[in-house]
Every structure is written in C-alpha cells, then in structure tokens.
Homo-oligomer: A and B are copies of this chain.
Amino acid sequence: MNKKDSILQAALKLLTSNGLHATPMSAIAKEAGTGMGTIYNYYPTKEVLINEIYVDIKQQEEALFDHFNSELPTKTQFETYFENTVDFFLQNPLYFKFMEQLHASPIITNDSRTVGRNAVESVVQLIDSGKNDRIIKNINTSEILQFVGGAILSYLRWYLSDNNNQGNSRSLKNLTSMVWDAIKE
C-alpha cells in the first residue's frame, strides 16, 4: 500500500474509534508508520484530510452503480441498489462509523457535500423514472431519497450495534421489501 493510502486508513481507524477531538495528527502518523511531516506532504491540513476520507467513501459508493443495468425492471434495480449499498457498508463498517460521526459535522465542506450529492445521482434518476412509470409514489424525490437513506442507515445502526449479533440476510430481505412497499405506488 502506498503512503497516501496508509495515512487514509490510519486516520479512518483512529477517527472512528477515538473521535475527531481525540485523534491528533501525530497519532495518525504513528499508526500509518510515517513521520508527521509526510502527512502534510499529501494533505495540507487536518481538515482537508478528513474531507478527503469523506469524498473517498462517497466516490466508492458511487462506483457501486457503475455497472447498473438500466434495462432491468425498476424494482430489480432498486433492490440491487439497496442491497449493494447496505452490503458495501457491512463490508466496510469503519466507513459507516466515519459517516455516522462526520456526516453532520461543520468540518465537512460544501465542496465535499456536493461530491456526496452527486454520488447518488443514479438513484435520483432511478426514482424519477419510477415515478414517471407510476411504479413509485409521486412524492418529492428528495424526500424519497432521504427515506431510503434513513432505512439503510437505521438497518446498519441496528446490524452493527454492539448488542446485536442476530443479523442475517433474511432480515435484510425483509427490510428491502418493507422499503419497497413503502415507496411503490
């Protein structure tokens, strides 16, 4: 792994376990196995480093849609999106913890948030097209988007919570169908 990625990984690990306020750059450097100065060769400030992690995750999320097949039925596409996204965060629980902690933080810049919004553009189009075909309810698209996002979020919170170890693929299927029922016409 190159240095830039080591730093990102180290920062992700420490930020999610200790929090922003308890993760000095020196600790990140130590964890990454570099000198502190090296971090600053790649990221001009701590704030930029945090935002880079944010953007990085959002872009990986976006990449999940790269091979979307727009000829499949809307419902199939939706299920694929929904389950892929949940799966992505289950495979990368630190990404989820990071987003939980920093999604609403003023440290995330507007530029980063814009990248975040663009990342879900494919889903917006899927929903719009579903509304057009009267497959999905005629509710404000951004509201539907938030609803779906909230469902993903709540599932992940439940699944990854310390006091749960009963998560299974059946419960995800349940949720997917609950959500589809809620938004379908």
Contacts and interface: CB of A to CB of B under 8 A. Distances in A.
B151 A17 contact: no
Given A17-B106, A179-B182, A181-B181, A146 B155 contact: yes
Interface stretch (A66-74, A84-92, A125-133, A136-144): A136-144
Nearest to A15: B106
Interface string A6-21: 0000000000011111
A164 interface: yes
A100 interface: yes
Contacts of A140: 158, 166, 171
A144 B51 CA distance: 33
A118 to B, nearest CB: 14
Q: Give this chain's copy count.
A: 4
Majority SS at the chain A contact face: helix
A33 interface: no
A157 interface: yes
B158 A154 contact: no
Contacts of A150: 150-155, 157
Contacts of A104: 97, 100-101
B151 A151 contact: yes
A30 B175 CA distance: 48
A63 interface: no
Nearest to A47: B21
Contacts of A137: 174, 178
